[in-house]
């Protein structure tokens, strides 16, 4: 790693690199060195080019967004702009063909990785809302699609049906109950597709991975410092970012817990308050009224992805045991059921039941 890091900085001595974070796509390290007697630290990351097949497009998106945010007066968060290497490039490739990049390290911060409490959810939702608000003035056509069809649920459904028909891993009989529940979720996907076809959802630059661990909070104050992990930034709809927050913040357990998750309503309310407090100024009436549908959509889509991968023989997600993807799918289907049961209160909070500018 020292050799790669020397392509980005000139320094006197190398202090090493330690793994950080709980991401399962890229490999991330906190790297430190000494220059002129002073210790400096940066984030060094190996970009997974098997997931992100056009690394240059990913980095162009990140640079475009960083430059835009840096010009927004009053933007309340720090900007993890990528560092240029000594040759002026954003990426460096090693002898094995891996792509590396460097980001600033924000000291005295942490990423809340697991089941955040209501106060953390509120701060993180505010951060994501501020992030989207600041990007409203950046044309979506300036951003490339780094994972084609990422939230094209019609395309994912077609893939699901193809796997069902082919049954390449011989698992269809094993998953009959989950398959039936997946078909029961199809009307949610149809509703989203209808809104998209009608042009009712504005195309916006969205984050597309709005989990708790992608917001850095101040260790001392608990306030949001930065939104990180911009690899999935693409044109999309704000419904997916809200939906993924509900999916990852509000359950009572992780997405691979065999026990059926419930919703932590105090966390869900905090998400609504924090997010709407920063987005109410730009959301259209159609977007706002359909935020709860976005929660149903993204949870259902994730169940679809897990179930399709299980039926295909676990070709995408890393697994720890043979039924891991099926358990994940069942978990997400149960979470969808919990959201369905609480739709009236979610709709009330999103539409009229709370003042989003108060807490």
At 170-229, the pLDDT tens digits run: 999 999 999 999 999 999 999 999 999 999 999 999 999 999 899 999 999 999 999 999
At 75-98, the pLDDT tens digits run: 999 999 999 999 999 999 999 999
Q: Which pLDDT does position 355 carry in this prediction?
A: 52
At 314-330, the pLDDT tens digits run: 998 889 999 999 999 99
Q: Which pLDDT does position 21 carry in this prediction?
A: 75
Determine what percent of the chain is predicted with pLDDT higher than 70: 97
Q: Which pLDDT does position 28 carry in this prediction?
A: 93
Distance CA 43, CA 18 (A): 10
Q: Identify which of 211, 240, 242 has the alpha carbon closest to the alpha carbon of residue 228.
A: 211
Q: Which pLDDT does position 176 carry in this prediction?
A: 98
Q: Which pLDDT does position 58 carry in this prediction?
A: 97
Distance CA 104, CA 34 (A): 16
The model carries a pTM of 0.94
Read off the tokens for 134.
Answer: 């600041």
Q: Which architecture characterizes domain 118-353 according to CATH?
A: Alpha-Beta Complex (3.90)
At 38-48, the pLDDT tens digits run: 999 999 999 99
CB 332 within 8 A of CB 246: no
At 146-156, the pLDDT tens digits run: 999 999 999 99
Q: Identify which of 189, 147, 186, 187 has the alpha carbon closest to the alpha carbon of residue 54.
A: 147
Q: How confident is the model at residue 160 (pLDDT cuts 50, 70, 90)?
A: very high
Q: How confident is the model at residue 50 (pLDDT cuts 50, 70, 90)?
A: confident
Mean pLDDT of 332-337: 98
pLDDT at 111 over 70: yes
Mean pLDDT of 335-356: 85
Long-range contact set of residues 217-220: C-beta below 8 Å, sequence gap at least 24? 217/109, 217/110, 217/111, 217/112, 217/120, 217/123, 217/124, 218/108, 218/109, 219/108, 219/109, 219/110, 220/108
Distance CA 273, CA 278 (A): 9
Rounded (10°) angle between helices 265-279 and 118-135:
30
Distance CA 47, CA 265 (A): 36
Q: Which pLDDT does position 139 carry in this prediction?
A: 95
CB 142 within 8 A of CB 64: yes
| Alpha-carbon distances, residue 265 vs 107, 115, 258, 329 (angstroms) | 32, 13, 21, 22
Domain residue spans in the chain? 2-105, 118-353
Q: Which pLDDT does position 1 carry in this prediction?
A: 87
Q: Which pLDDT does position 357 carry in this prediction?
A: 46
Q: In the predicted model, what is the mean pLDDT of the chain?
A: 95
Q: Which pLDDT does position 24 carry in this prediction?
A: 65
CB 287 within 8 A of CB 239: yes
pLDDT at 59 over 50: yes
Q: How confident is the model at residue 339 (pLDDT cuts 50, 70, 90)?
A: very high
Q: Which pLDDT does position 359 carry in this prediction?
A: 36
Q: CATH: 1.10.490.10, 3.20.20.70, 3.30.200.20, 3.40.50.300. Which one for 2-105?
A: 3.30.200.20
Q: What is the DSSP letter of 83?
A: P
Q: Which pLDDT does position 23 carry in this prediction?
A: 65
């Amino acid at each position: 790693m020292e050799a790669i890091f020397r392509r980005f900085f000139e320094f006197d001595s190398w202090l090493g690199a330690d793994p950080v974070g709980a991401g399962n796509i890229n490999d991330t390290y906190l790297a430190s060195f000494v220059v002129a007697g002073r210790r400096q630290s940066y984030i060094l990351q190996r970009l997974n080019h098997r997931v992100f097949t056009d690394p240059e497009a990913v980095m162009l998106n990140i640079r475009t967004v960083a430059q835009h945010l840096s010009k927004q007066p009053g933007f309340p968060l720090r900007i993890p702009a990528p560092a240029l290497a000594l040759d002026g490039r954003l990426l460096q490739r090693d002898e094995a063909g891996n792509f590396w990049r460097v980001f600033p390290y924000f000291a005295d911060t942490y990423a809340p990785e697991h089941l955040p409490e209501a106060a953390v959810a509120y701060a993180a939702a505010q951060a994501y809302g501020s992030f989207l608000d600041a990007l409203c003035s950046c044309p979506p056509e300036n951003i490339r699609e780094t994972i084609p069809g990422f939230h094209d649920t019609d395309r994912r459904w077609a893939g699901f049906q193809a796997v069902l028909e082919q049954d390449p891993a011989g698992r269809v009989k094993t998953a009959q109950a989950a398959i039936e529940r997946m078909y029961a979720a199809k009307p949610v996907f149809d509703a989203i597709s209808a809104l998209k076809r009608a042009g009712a959802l504005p195309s916006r630059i969205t984050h597309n991975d709005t989990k708790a661990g992608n917001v850095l909070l101040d260790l001392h104050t608990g306030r949001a410092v930065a939104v990180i992990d911009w690899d999935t930034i693409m044109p999309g709809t704000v419904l997916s970012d809200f939906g993924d927050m509900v999916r990852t913040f509000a359950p009572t357990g992780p997405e691979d817990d065999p026990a059926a998750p419930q919703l932590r309503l105090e966390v869900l309310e905090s998400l609504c308050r924090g997010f709407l407090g920063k987005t109410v100024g730009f959301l259209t009436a159609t977007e706002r009224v359909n935020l709860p549908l976005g929660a149903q959509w993204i949870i259902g889509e994730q169940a679809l992805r897990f179930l399709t991968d299980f039926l295909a023989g676990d070709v995408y997600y890393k697994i720890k045991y043979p039924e891991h993807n099926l358990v994940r799918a069942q978990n997400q289907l149960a979470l969808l059921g919990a959201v369905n049961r609480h739709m009236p209160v979610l709709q009330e909070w999103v539409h009229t039941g709370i003042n989003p500018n108060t807490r």
